[in-house]
Homo-oligomer: A and B are copies of this chain.
Amino acid sequence: MPRIQSVEAQDIRFPTSRQLDGSDAMNAAPDYSATYVTLRTDTGDALSGHGLSFTIGRGNEICVAAVNSLASRLEGRTLEEIIADMGAFWRDLTSGDSQLRWLGPEKGVIHLACSAMINAVWDLWAKHEGKPVWKLLADMTPEALVQCLDFRFVTDALTPAEAIALLKRQQAGKAEREAILRQQGYPGYTTSAGWLGYSEDKMRQLCREALDEGWQHFKQKVGGDIEEDRRRARILREEIGESRVLMMDANQMWDVDEAIVNMRRLAEFNPHWIEEPTSPDDILGHAEIRRRLAPIAVATGEHCHNRVMFKQLFQAGALDYCQLDAARLGGLNEVIVVLLLAAKYGIPVCPHGGGVGLCEYTQHISMFDYIAVSGSMEDRLLEYVDHLHEHFLDPVRIRQGRYLVPDAPGYGVSMKPDSLTAHRFPDGSAWQ
């Protein structure tokens, strides 16, 4: 088994703000970026692990610094000793150095850095096994899977024994669901047409292209001027018709009462959900908004920083859809804990996509969820944004609005060497 010799973090940035790709009310001009981690092993170029954390530009250098500060906890370890007790490894990296833990705990920059490193370990493990991550997970026994997890601070909602029982419920149908998935893919929705910075013409054109491609679910960014939000909703409804699904995303722009007032003004456009209506930390605020806006659903999670926050969102009845973020939670281990909590509380998981590599990550999560955790694709969607996939060695593949099953070994975010070179900040050619 390989030994990790060094942890390398690169500051990779794409100048997306030039076209206002990814623009929303809170994030006016993001430069989609990644703290890109490479675990180099004693196998040389034969086997290395890749993980990334998504940021939106400035500050990516701080995440790189945090990976460098954590690197010594990973360097020198063998994959064998890590996977012998993956749950203990996870706790050690996220909390084992109490001096570094102080910077969170389990949130913000330090957790983003842990996430990239932990996902790189999963990538290494899956590549070593010759399997895509979803398959590595789906093939584990419930007991083996639960041993990869840390239930600290969530045992009042879910114990390891309950988690094993949840997973055992789905054991029987796993092979059948894997076959269905290979045949049908996993349903997605597109955010590509709805960015706030796009002109009416561009929105209409992108809608038509998306309809041609077979998309049935569309997302609009709101949270700017309310009359402008209404105007853009009207345009989208004109293009997609009444039978297709329109979601809205406020990107945290509103206070609680403001969210309710504004969504009542947008209700005539029949939004399926309102996403991030207020502060991502406001569990009770989301619960209040959900109660007062029903039947409009509430979705949140891309900025939900750890399992403790998700636990409470579930306990408080604060959301209808869980939009966990593969690169903000502390890597795949914590993502799986959230999947299990969501299954226990009966909340569909629709992961946050877009950014850099998030779709490449999340396809593994949702497919594993379908095969082994929730056992269902009903009312579940993978977000899709059609940017930056060309920089990955194994980009997502979409047909008729559905994600095809990824077959390449690993966790999917290994980037092309040329893309890395060109987008290294600040010296890459894209930044000259």
Residues A362-391 near B (CB distance < 8 A): none
Residues A9-42 near B (CB distance < 8 A): 26-31
- Residues of B within 8 Å of A246, CB to CB, are none
Most-contacted residue by chain B among A27, A28, A99 (CB, 10 A): A99
Contact: A69 with B61, CB < 8 Å?
yes
A312 and chain B: residue at smallest CB distance = B284
Complexed CA–CA distance, A315 and B286 (Å): 13
Complexed CA–CA distance, A112 and B100 (Å): 13
A315 and chain B: residue at smallest CB distance = B284
- Residues of B within 8 Å of A29, CB to CB, are 98
Contact: B155 with A255, CB < 8 Å?
yes
* In the complex, A94 has a CB within 8 A of chain B: no
A54 and chain B: residue at smallest CB distance = B102
- Residues of B within 8 Å of A98, CB to CB, are 26-30, 56
Can you tell how many copies of this chain the complex includes? Answer: 2
Contact: B69 with A280, CB < 8 Å?
no
A328 and chain B: residue at smallest CB distance = B102
- Residues of B within 8 Å of A145, CB to CB, are none
Complexed CA–CA distance, A303 and B315 (Å): 22
Contact: A59 with B63, CB < 8 Å?
no
With A155-B256, A257-B156 as contacts: A104 and B108 at CB distance below 8 Å? yes
Complexed CA–CA distance, A142 and B374 (Å): 53
- CB of A189 to closest CB in B, whole Å: 22
Complexed CA–CA distance, A335 and B30 (Å): 30
- Residues of B within 8 Å of A65, CB to CB, are 61-62, 65
* In the complex, A84 has a CB within 8 A of chain B: no
User: Which among B59, B100, B281 is the interface contact of A308 at CB below 8 angstroms?
Assistant: B281
* In the complex, A2 has a CB within 8 A of chain B: no
Contact with B along A82-117 (1 / 0, CB 8 A): 000000000000000111111111111111100000
- Residues of B within 8 Å of A306, CB to CB, are 281
User: Which among B55, B59, B97, B288 is the interface contact of A156 at CB below 8 angstroms?
Assistant: B288
Contact: A63 with B278, CB < 8 Å?
no
- CB of A101 to closest CB in B, whole Å: 8
A30 and chain B: residue at smallest CB distance = B99
* In the complex, A8 has a CB within 8 A of chain B: no
With A66-B109, A255-B156 as contacts: A99 and B308 at CB distance below 8 Å? no
User: Which among B30, B59, B110 is the interface contact of A69 at CB below 8 angstroms?
Assistant: B59
* In the complex, A58 has a CB within 8 A of chain B: yes
Complexed CA–CA distance, A23 and B62 (Å): 28
Contact: A281 with B255, CB < 8 Å?
no
Complexed CA–CA distance, A279 and B106 (Å): 10
Chain A residues close to B by CB (< 8 Å): 26-31, 55-59, 61-63, 65-66, 69, 97-112, 152-156, 252, 255-258, 278-285, 288, 303, 305-306, 308-309, 311-312, 315-316
11 sampled A-B residue pairs with Cβ under 8 A: A31-B99, A55-B99, A59-B66, A62-B66, A103-B108, A103-B109, A108-B110, A153-B282, A154-B255, A281-B309, A284-B312
Given contacts A59-B99, A281-B305, 14 further A-B contacts (CB under 8 A): A26-B101, A30-B98, A57-B102, A58-B100, A62-B69, A103-B109, A103-B112, A105-B303, A109-B109, A152-B255, A153-B279, A156-B285, A282-B308, A282-B311
